[in-house]
Amino acid sequence: MNILILGSGGREHSLAWAVSQNPKCDKLIVAPGNAGMDDIADCAVLDIEDGAAVVDFASAHSIDFVIVGPEAPLAAGVADTVRAAGLLCFGPSAEAAKLEASKAFTKEVCDAANAPTAAYAHFTEAAPAKDYIRQQGAPIVIKADGLAAGKGVIVAMDEATALDAVDDMLGGAFGEAGAEVVIEEFMEGEEASFFLLSDGKTVLPIGTAQDHKRAFDGDTGPNTGGMGAYSPAPVLSEDIAARALAEIVQPTVDEMAKRGTPYQGVLYAGLMIKDGAPRLVEYNVRFGDPECQVLMMRLGAQALDLMQACAEERLNEAQVQWADDHAITVVMAAKGYPGSYDKGTAIKGIDTLPEDSMNMVFHAGTSLKDGQLVASGGRVLNVTARGASLSEARDRAYAAIDQIDWPDGFYRKDIGWRAL
């Protein structure tokens, strides 16, 4: 099977790593890919948000299966175009991708599906939005409706912050994404991520994870795309996961099917858990980054079989082979991230690190300059390890970090603290 993965981050490196271990995989191309994937895949230049270009590229390279990593091509309808061309594709249609691309849409689907989530209202005008905030009081959560690269959510602990957020969003701070705002009840509890495959009908859980969104130790500092993650998430016990599937995810998938827009792909449910009950915070229509890295570390080669069964609408026949293991990933980021940071700084000491089923350094933002590995993004490396326990996995990951010589990078030293 010839496979094309779309994307360029650590998520896509881990997908490529898992897929390449499956004997079914003959040829693997990642577009655009990055410097870390050289030995397992060909990297190609391609506009991944242009469905017609993806189809042309896939035909020219005899691709059988396209796996879409990030949300932007999904929201742009790339999976629709690829499927319409008769190719197998892993990733939802643009209509189904609205579960991430529009928060108002998701809330409305949750209402229809009777799925527990925060109470809300949505607005396109500032005055009624502000009236609603004054009436509800703080804490309260203000969200830009559309895709805002993870920056469109303000958890306001006081009313003034909430009112300012409305002015910012409706004032154009997030462009089109903020032309509508969703205002939500503030939910208390512990957050965890639940990953499931859906073929439109059957839903198959493939793992749980927790990430660390703040930049610095002790969950301090600015919000980031994620500074580390681990799997499984102990807070998502078997009971709570079963409830989340029965009360939230399956009803959502059923509702999408009923509307004639079946959901096909991975569904990443962000949950808030309190007193043993899960509520939905948000859906993402792709794997999390860096959560994907820990899921792939645990699933290995079977990830390809599962994604294929999902795309071929045969999830009812699929089974996940679970090991009783733990995985952790620690993000090494460029100093300054998530603010401004230098590019092109040299990274050394990676070549000699073990790369096997227990240890992997996934690359998120690297390139090669005159044969030297350099940083080319904010989040740069995902140092990932597996173990019989979380503490074993953690020790392995941090031991690997000790070997990496990158004075211009930083990382959190407390990834996994909540579960340890």
> Minimal distance in Å, beta carbon 9 to ligand AMP?
18
Shorter beta-carbon distance to ligand GLY: residue 145 or 211: 211
> Minimal distance in Å, beta carbon 270 to ligand AMP?
5
Indicate which of ligand AMP, ligand GLY, none lies near residue 325 (CB less than 5 to 8 Å, by partner kind).
none
Shorter beta-carbon distance to ligand AMP: residue 54 or 113: 113
DSSP summary character for residue 159: H
Other C-beta atoms closer than 10 Å to the C-beta of 121 total 17
DSSP summary character for residue 213: -
Shorter beta-carbon distance to ligand AMP: residue 268 or 406: 268
Which regions of 150-290 does DSSP assign to beta strands (E)? 153-156, 181-185, 190-199, 203-211, 214-216, 220-223, 228-231, 264-274, 277-284
Shorter beta-carbon distance to ligand GLY: residue 200 or 226: 226
> Minimal distance in Å, beta carbon 102 to ligand AMP?
12
Q: What's the CA gap between 60 and 256, in Å, rounded?
A: 34
408 binds ligand GLY (CB under 6 A): no
100 binds ligand GLY (CB under 6 A): no
Q: Which stretch binds ligand GLY (CB under 6 A): 45-53, 57-65, 92-100, 283-291?
A: 283-291
Give CA separation, 164 vs 129, 141, 154, 187, in Å: 11, 12, 10, 20
Shorter beta-carbon distance to ligand AMP: residue 215 or 374: 215
Query: Quick one: angle between helices 10-20 and 291-299, nearest 10?
Result: 10
What string marks each residue from 197 to 236 as x (binds ligand GLY by CB under 6 A) or -? --------------x-------------xx----------
- Whether the CB-CB separation of 67 and 91 falls below 8 Å is answered with yes
Q: What's the CA gap between 241 and 6, in Å, rounded?
A: 30
111 phi and psi angles, rounded to 5 deg: -60, -50
Shorter beta-carbon distance to ligand GLY: residue 12 or 289: 289
Residues interacting with ligand AMP, by CB under 6 A? 118, 141, 153, 155, 184-187, 191, 270, 281-282
Q: Which of 80, 289, 325, 408 binds ligand GLY (CB under 6 A)?
A: 289
Angle at 372 between CA 367 and CA 375, to 5 degrees: 40
Contacts of 272 (CB under 8 A, 6+ apart): 187, 188, 189, 190, 191, 278, 279, 280, 281
Contacts of 105 (CB under 8 A, 6+ apart): 98, 99
Indicate which of ligand AMP, ligand GLY, none lies near residue 191 (CB less than 5 to 8 Å, by partner kind).
ligand AMP
> Minimal distance in Å, beta carbon 291 to ligand GLY?
6
284 binds ligand GLY (CB under 6 A): yes
Shorter beta-carbon distance to ligand GLY: residue 80 or 291: 291
Indicate which of ligand GLY, ligand AMP, none lies near residue 153 (CB less than 5 to 8 Å, by partner kind).
ligand AMP
Q: Which stretch binds ligand GLY (CB under 6 A): 23-31, 128-136, 174-182, 282-290?
A: 282-290
378 binds ligand GLY (CB under 6 A): no
Indicate which of ligand GLY, ligand AMP, none lies near residue 211 (CB less than 5 to 8 Å, by partner kind).
ligand GLY
Indicate which of ligand GLY, ligand AMP, none lies near residue 254 (CB less than 5 to 8 Å, by partner kind).
none
Angle at 57 between CA 53 and CA 62, to 5 degrees: 150
Angle at 94 between CA 89 and CA 95, to 5 degrees: 120
- Quick one: CA torsion of 290, 295, 298, 303, rounded to 10 degrees? -130
- The answer to whether the Cα torsion of 112, 276, 388, 229 is positive or negative is positive
Q: Which of 288, 377, 378, 416 binds ligand GLY (CB under 6 A)?
A: 288
> Minimal distance in Å, beta carbon 155 to ligand AMP?
5
Contacts of 165 (CB under 8 A, 6+ apart): 142, 154, 156
Per rule CB under 6 A, count of chain residues that contact ligand GLY: 7
58 phi and psi angles, rounded to 5 deg: -60, -40
Q: Which residues make up the interface to ligand GLY (CB under 6 A)?
A: 211, 225-226, 284, 288-289, 291
